[in-house]
Amino acid sequence: MNEFELIDAFFSSILHSRTDVLLGIGDDAACLHVPADKQLLVSTDTLVAGVHFLPEWDPYDIATKAVMVNISDIAAMAGVPAWMTLALTLPELNEHWLSRFASGLKDALSEFNVALVGGDTTRGPLSMTLTVHGLADKDKVVTRQGAKANDIIYVSGPIGAAAAALKILHHGINPTDFSSFMRHLHKPTPRVDYQPYLAAFANAAIDISDGLSNDLNHICTRSGVGASLILDDIPIHPLVYQYQSAHALELALSGGDDYELCFTVPKEKNNAFLNAIAHAGLKAYPIGVVEPDKGVYAKNSDGVMVSCTSQGYHHF
């Protein structure tokens, strides 16, 4: 099988139903239609074997994770993912590996109605670079730099399970919980479902890839503000309490890979925001407020203040 047969067999065959793909895989470039009332979001992620995933992982899971984390960046900007390109570097032509990988890719892309529109295939140490293109409503893109003092800070779901999964990987736990942990690690769910509500109500947003503390610090730094959190209000995944209760808060604040969203909503829009998400069956967790002065601080249940730096959190 040569390079072109490989592309045909595994990638051109991934079908999609998007009418905005005027030209997909097979030409020198893809040609895509961006509607006049939309803006184009573009984001790239590289995953290297041994760094972002282990080479012995099921290739289905590698592809799934690569797609999900890429799409999460579009979700964090209040966009809807549309198209993807894939630059794949392979050490060898292993048809079994490729077929599992392509199958994970196909399922992950179709779950979010994303079309694979091109890429590049080369030989070398195993790695992949995915570029996702998303569409945002014109002038409704939500960035890291829009947070304002008194905004309410939200997290879109319970966090910490992906980081806990890494910790307990080799410990004896029951098979049902094990597969649930692995799902958090291999198949994080990008919160594209929040797109309309971020676009309508949020001042700033980020996806939690490096840990809440780190990522909230990014919002604050870029927005020139600070934050005060209530530690007891941080939604920690029940599996974390069950298996890592001693480290629960640390994992929720500093553990990465959750891909929930952290965003801020101005107080005057808060009621409308809560009504809108309740209507959609979504639940967001308020964890604190944006402060005019820089620095991210949190109060624990004893009223003790801790400083949450980008490296994690530290007691005074």
**Does 3 interact with Mg ion (rule: CB under 5 A)?**
no
Residue selected from 21, 41, 116, 248 as contacting ligand ADP according to rule CB under 6 A: 116
**Residue 312 burial (C-beta neighbours within 10 Å; 0-12, 13-18, 19+):** middle
In the bound complex, what is the minimum distance in angstroms from residue 118's beta carbon to ligand ADP? 3
**Does 28 interact with ligand ADP (rule: CB under 6 A)?**
yes
E strand or H helix that includes residue 305: strand 305-309
* Beta strands 261-265 and 152-155, pairing class: antiparallel
Cα-trace Rg, the chain: 20
In the bound complex, what is the minimum distance in angstroms from residue 98's beta carbon to ligand ADP? 10
Contact 136, 199 (CB under 8 A): yes
In the bound complex, what is the minimum distance in angstroms from residue 12's beta carbon to ligand ADP? 7
What is the DSSP secondary structure assignment for residue 152, as one 8-state letter? E
Q: Which stretch binds Mg ion (CB under 5 A): 6-14, 91-99, 117-125, 205-213?
A: 117-125
Residue selected from 1, 13, 15, 26 as contacting ligand ADP according to rule CB under 6 A: 26
Strand partners, 38: 137
**Does 88 interact with ligand ADP (rule: CB under 6 A)?**
yes
Distance CA 84, CA 118 (A): 7
Contact mark string toward ligand ADP, 6..25, x via CB under 6 A: -x---x-------------x
In the bound complex, what is the minimum distance in angstroms from residue 199's beta carbon to ligand ADP? 30
**Does 119 interact with ligand ADP (rule: CB under 6 A)?**
yes
292 interacts with, out of ligand ADP, Mg ion, none, CB within 5 to 8 A per kind: none
Could you tell me the two tokens for 173?
């736990």
Nearer to Mg ion, 130 or 212 (CB): 130
Residue nearest to Mg ion (CB): 120
**Which residue has 């109605």 as its token pair?**
113
Cβ neighbour number for residue 306 with a 10 Å cutoff: 18
Residues listed for the chain: 316
Distance CA 216, CA 40 (A): 25
Distance CA 195, CA 221 (A): 23
Nearer to ligand ADP, 45 or 257 (CB): 45
In the bound complex, what is the minimum distance in angstroms from residue 237's beta carbon to ligand ADP? 34
In the bound complex, what is the minimum distance in angstroms from residue 57's beta carbon to ligand ADP? 19
* Binding region for ligand ADP (CB under 6 A): 7, 11, 25-28, 86, 88, 116, 118-121
Q: Which residues bind Mg ion (CB under 5 A)?
A: 120
